Every structure is written in C-alpha cells, then in structure tokens.
Structure 1
Amino acid sequence: MAAGLGVLAPSASAAGRRVHPGDSIQDAVNSARPGDIITVMPGTYYENVLITKRLTLRGWGAGTVIKPPVTAVTPTTPTTPTTPARPTTPTAPGTPVAPAPGASGAPVAPGASGRALACSQADTGICVMGTAEQPVVGVDIRSLTVSGFKRNGVWASYTDRLSVQRVTAENNGTWGIAQERSTRGLFRDNVARDNAESGLFIANTVDREGGATDTLGAVVRRNTLTGNRIGVTVRRVRNLAVYGNSVTGNCGGIFVVGDEGEPGAGDMTIRGNRIHENNKFCKGNSRLPDIQGVGIVLTGAEETVVRSNSIRGNVGASPLSGGILLFKSFVGATNTDNVIRDNVVRDNKPADLANQGTGTGNRFVNNRCGSSVPAGMC
C-alpha cells in the first residue's frame, strides 16, 4: 500500500487534538497527555518534531508534509549535551557516518532538552527519543510525509513498540526511517525513496562498537524502497523479520551486517521480498567499495533464513554485486549457519548466488537460479 492511501477520518470520540496549517505540531506534542492522538491536517509544516511520550501522530495522507524549518528554533532550556563517541572501525556495507554533535536549534519537549539537542542537531524531521532508563513506549506515527531533511526523515532511539506506518520518507540526507537501541518496532506500508543512505535502517547503536542486540521481534513489512543507496539495512541486531517488501532502483537491496562482536548479528528471516534491478550506481568511499547491482548481502551474519524471495536483474561490477551474496566481512567476521532456500534468483550478474569467505554451516537449498560462485549451488 502506498503511503497516504486508505486514510480514514479520525473518530469524533478520539482523545486528542487537530493541528492545522500555521499551527505548531511540536506545541501540540508538548501539551498532549500520554495516549493522546494528534491529527495533523493537510498542509506543509516547516519544523522538527520531538516525541518523548506515548502518543499517536497521524497525518491526512499524502497531503500532510513535514519539511525542514526555514529558520532555526532556539531551545527554551539551554543545555550542553555530551558528545557521543563516533564509530572507530569501518564495519561493513550500510554503515553511514554517525550524526555530528554540536549544532544548536531544537524543538524542546518538557523535561527533554538534552534529548532534543541530541536529535535535532542531526536535522531530522521526526525524532522519537527515550533513555536507557526509560524507553518511550507505544509511539505511533502514520500517514504523512517527511521530506528534505539534512539527516533523517524519522529517527528513533530507546523505544519499545514504535509503529511507523504509511509514512513517506524522501530526499533526506542520511536515512529515511531509522531506529537504534530499540525493541519490537513495526515498520509497515511505508515509502522510502531517494534518501542518501538506507531507506530503512535498524541498528543496535550508531555511535559505538558492540555486539548485536535483540529487537524482540521487530518487523519490516510491505514497504516500498526505491532510489536509496541501500533499500533496507539491518546492522548488528537479532530476532526480526523483513518480508513482503518491494526493493527496486536502489544501489543495493537488503544488507544484513554484523561484525566480530558478541552476540553475533542474525537469527532473522528475510522472506517474500521483491528485489529487482537495484542498479543505481553509488560511489564507494574509504570504508566501502562502489555499490551497484546488489540484491541481498549477508556479511558477518549467523542463523539467518533467506527464503521465497524474487531477486532479478541486479547487475553490477562491484565486489558486492549479484543476486544473493554471502560476503567476506571487512573486519574478519564470518557468515555461519545461514539458510538460503526456495528463492527465485535470475539474471543477476556476476552471479545469482555467491558464497565468499570461510564461514561454515551455510546451506543453499532448492533455489531457482542460473549461475553460482562456486559452481553447483543452483
């Protein structure tokens, strides 16, 4: 389902309020009680929004658009945020630079000025921010567009049961929709297009090294991902499902990224996705080779099931190019005990299936394909 379709009029009995063009979404969020519904009427809103409590923020479909503020908003409570650590080791494909600290200008929810700065300094559209001691639970964002932000469209940290549905995240400078340090997220029926990094990005944390964390069953389902550097990246996490998504026209389709940390990344299912012609070219950098023609890449993953996907026409000359690739990790982590089965993998080059590195226990079963490296897996 495309973002903005199938939007129903809000119930007259729903607890909450409406925001009209010219009003501030942030003011409505600040004054809302936990559990309230905020309905943002059609129009274009030039602001960043920070959410630190349980509530529903829903638009009126494609007509509700959030764009960067024309001028910076001054925080109401001065604060000096702690500078987070930056990643010290390039880990694997799909690892962008962490948001830079130090910029000012933030929407401020009551009692949350530090979190406001930590998020809005990254020039993000909607931030959902909890803490390690008190994750924010049950936030629901749906039926709106976030467009043109320097960093991310939607960004979440320390959340539980975050739901992002029927949201369009487009033309943002890093990720379209992203989450770290969070559990039980649901990302369904969204459109993420033309973002500089991943359309959808799920990670343990972006500001330090560490083993994979358990998402407790996060779901990435029925999203449309196109024109991004990578459609979906899941990095250093475990226990989630990526299924029923349409991934086309990106430089790369789906990346599962781990490293040498413990526990390892994996224990997930990638199934029923349509991953066709991700042949956009993205120039490499000091950490990554060029990316083009990439279907599904597993690097440093374990106990992941890749099944019943349609992967066609992904063609490129990058070391990562091809249909389904078990890639040798840049930091020496191996792919272990993964199962690749019942996929239709056709017309991908240089190969439909490839198994690189020294990992053990990986099985390729009943895939319909034309070529493999090494030979004999089709």
Structure 2
Amino acid sequence: MRTRHMNSLAGITVVTATALSLAAVPTAASGHRDHVVHPGESIQGAVNAAQPGDTIVIRPGTYRESVLITTPGLTLRGTGGRTVITPAAVKTAKPAKAAKGPAAAKGPRAANACAAGGNGICVVGTKGHTVDDVRIRSLTVSGFGESGVWSSWTDGLSVRRVTASKNGTWGIAQERSTRGDFRRNTATANGDAGIFVANSVTEEGGATDTGGTLVVDNSVTGNRIGVTARRVRNLVIDGNTLTGNCSGVFVVGDESKPAAGAMTISGNRILKNNKFCPATPRLSAIQGSGIVLTGSESTIVRSNVVRDNVGSTPLSGGILLFKSFVGALNTDNSINRNLVRGNKPADLANRDTAGKGNTFVSNTCGTSVPAGMCAE
C-alpha cells in the first residue's frame, strides 16, 4: 500500500477547447450533446468543450493522451477494447507545476495535469466542490505510470466495462470520494491494486465513509492486490472474480478513529492468488492470500468461494484476521457461510487473537488456526 503524492491534481480548472474538428451533436429534448472524437482528435478538447450532461463518444482507435474531467455529469464512452487510451509520447517540455488553489492552474498546462501525475483518466474535484455523477464506459486505459483511472473528491462516479491494465500503481482508484460504482470492469497486471478505494493517499487519518461505494462483478487478475479498501467504511465488495494476484481482497485499517470496516465482502470467487510479491516498507511479502482483514471492525465476510490460495508468508491462507501493522485490532467482524478449501497454510486463520468479538460461523473448510473453526 504505497502513498502517492497527487497534489498536482488538486484544485484544477480546465481551459476552453479551441479549433478542434469535433462533431457536437444535440441529443433529444434534454438538450444534452454528444461530442464525437475520432482517431487523431483530442479527447481532452471534447471534454473541455462539453457541458454538464454531455457525452463524449470516443470512436475506435488509440489515443495517446491523459484526460482530466472537472465538469460534473459528463459521460466518457468508448467501444471497449477498440478504444485505447495510453500515454503520450515523451516530450521535453517541463511538467505542469502543482496547483495552489482553484484559480492557480490556467492556460494550456492545466489540461496536462492528469498526465503530469502519471495517470490516464482523472476525475478531480476539491474539498468544497466535488465533481458529481461522471460516468466512464467501455474503454481501455493502459500503460500509465500511476493509475489507469484516478478520482479524488467525487460523488457518484460510475466506472463500468473499463479495462485497466499494466498501469504502474492502481488500475482504478478512488480517494476522498463517496458513492462510487465500479462494476463489470477488468483490472489486470497493475503494479499495486487492481481496484483501490481509500480515504486519502497523501494524509494519515481515520477511516472515511464512502457513502455506499460498490465494487461489483469485476474481473481482477495478475495485480499485486485484487481489491484494496484502505481506511474506509461503508462499502460493498460483491460478486467479483479475483485470481492470480498476490492477494484477493485486502482491508487496511489503522489505530485512528473511526476504524476501517462496516463493509460487506460477499459472493466473490477468490481463486489461486498465488503470485509472489516481495515485502515493502509498509507491508510484509504477500503470496497466497484470499481475504485479509487488518484493523477492521464490523465487517461481514459472507458467502464467498475462497479456494487454492497457497503461500508461506505471514499473510498466506484463505480468510485471515491479522493485526494491523500499526497495531490496530480487528473487532466485531463476522465470517460466515463461506466455502474455503485448499488454502495453505490454513483455510481460516485468526492471527489477531487480541481482537474482540470476531466470529467464524458455518464456514465450510478443511483447516483452521486455531483449530475448530470449520463447520462439521
């Protein structure tokens, strides 16, 4: 779980588009428009020209740019794997400087702030002015140094049928945001988490309420961690398929208040997450981890299929409770009705014996530490 400094995206305003060959087509009575972008044209130019409620339609092709969205209500829509957003060619120009406030970033440089942060698509508001109800649909974002899709200070962001692959840190990431909806996406071979939900990546502090963020029906493979929920509360991780990562689902809490948790992890298929990831300054080596709770409270882990996650690290096994690396305990978590088989060194493991109120009930498994937690 690496902390990233995303300050270059804070408080940004976008310049007006100029002289681009983009077709803007009014839709029905709503007055909203479709802005159609063809290969060789600028997605950012269309975003700059759009008004709340407009749709940016991206035709099949490869687009070498980063896209910054600060206008609420926009839809960015591609054609699945045929619409690819990838980094621009390296230029010798100086990178954009970090913005100091809402009016600090002006002129052409503002449009490059997402690229300066190493990200593909950015949806960015401010503490006092969130960017609401943006939708990203059916496109591929690949090869960026940081995140494929990055969001901060948003409400109601919806990302669906997006493929985020081979990005340096996160595939799809959200911080300081509420009511996100991440559904039917594919996140593969990203450097850290395929899908990442956090309170903040630049500050320490207690867990924040995500307002019911949903991580649902995604396919997440070959990342360091499949889904990370870091210092957040009130979200659902349901129906995802997570395989070939070092760890499937990782809930991270710390000693700050409120604690992480109050979430539901249910109905996921978590299979053979046996990739080896070496230790970092913040975390020990990971291999063969299905679901890991550290420093979590009141989390429900229910009706998951967790199979064949095998490793020999302290975090290896099917479903584990592990004391937070900064000393926070797991409390009042419920692990029930899961099918947990073929995981090593154990299907269920409570390695946080100082934690209070944690229950393991009606789980179908073969081995547990301590013994006796599997249903007969």
TM-score interval (norm. to shorter): 0.7 to 0.9
- Determine if contact 1:80/1:114 at 8 Å carries over to the other structure: no
**What is aligned with 1:95?**
none
| CA deviations over 1:247-292 (Å, ceiling 9, x no partner) | 0011110001100011010000000000000001111123221111
User: Structure 1 pair 267/26, CA: closer, same or farther in 2 (3 Å)?
Assistant: same
Residue 298 of structure 1 aligns with an amino acid whose one-letter code is L
2:51 to 33, 38, 41: 33
**Structure 2 CA distance, aligned partners of 1:180 and 1:116?**
20
**TM-score (structure 1 length as normaliser):** 0.87
**What is aligned with 2:41?**
23
Matched, 1:67 2:91: no
- Determine if contact 1:30/1:109 at 8 Å carries over to the other structure: no
Matched, 1:58 2:53: no
**TM-score (structure 2 length as normaliser):** 0.87
- Determine if contact 1:52/1:112 at 8 Å carries over to the other structure: no
Matched, 1:128 2:123: yes
**Structure 2 CA distance, aligned partners of 1:321 and 1:58?**
39
Structure 2 SS opposite 1:33: coil
- Determine if contact 1:339/1:363 at 8 Å carries over to the other structure: yes
**What is aligned with 2:13?**
none
**Structure 2 CA distance, aligned partners of 1:244 and 1:350?**
25
**Structure 2 CA distance, aligned partners of 1:353 and 1:265?**
21
Matched, 1:141 2:136: yes
1:329 to 299, 320, 324: 324
The alignment-based identity, stated in percent, is 61
Deviation at 1:179, TM superposition (A): 0.4
- RMSD over equivalenced CA pairs, Å: 2.2
- Determine if contact 1:75/1:113 at 8 Å carries over to the other structure: no
User: Structure 1 pair 130/252, CA: closer, same or farther in 2 (3 Å)?
Assistant: same
Which sections of structure 2, spanning at least 5 residues, go unmatched?
1-24
**What is aligned with 1:276?**
271
Deviation at 1:12, TM superposition (A): 6.3
**What is aligned with 1:204?**
199
**What is aligned with 1:363?**
359
Q: Which moved more, 1:279-288 or 1:189-198?
A: 279-288
Matched, 1:249 2:250: no
Which sections of structure 1, spanning at least 5 residues, go unmatched?
1-9, 84-107
**What is aligned with 2:286?**
291
- Determine if contact 1:52/1:109 at 8 Å carries over to the other structure: no
**What is aligned with 1:258?**
253
Matched, 1:374 2:365: no
**What is aligned with 1:186?**
181
**What is aligned with 1:47?**
65
**Structure 1 CA distance, aligned partners of 2:149 and 2:171?**
6
- Determine if contact 1:253/1:295 at 8 Å carries over to the other structure: yes
**What is aligned with 1:7?**
none
| CA deviations over 1:343-371 (Å, ceiling 9, x no partner) | 00000000000111210000000000000
Structure 1 SS opposite 2:328: coil
**Structure 2 CA distance, aligned partners of 1:51 and 1:236?**
25
Deviation at 1:115, TM superposition (A): 9.1
- Determine if contact 2:27/2:34 at 8 Å carries over to the other structure: no
Structure 1 SS opposite 2:139: strand
User: Structure 1 pair 110/186, CA: closer, same or farther in 2 (3 Å)?
Assistant: farther
**What is aligned with 2:148?**
153
- Determine if contact 1:283/1:291 at 8 Å carries over to the other structure: yes
- Determine if contact 2:194/2:220 at 8 Å carries over to the other structure: yes
Greater RCO structure (CA 8 Å; 6+ sep): 1
1:343 to 318, 338, 346: 338
**Structure 1 CA distance, aligned partners of 2:44 and 2:112?**
11
**What is aligned with 1:226?**
221
Structure 2 SS opposite 1:316: coil
Residue 339 of structure 1 aligns with an amino acid whose one-letter code is S
Deviation at 1:60, TM superposition (A): 1.1
- Determine if contact 2:65/2:115 at 8 Å carries over to the other structure: no
Structure 1 SS opposite 2:292: strand
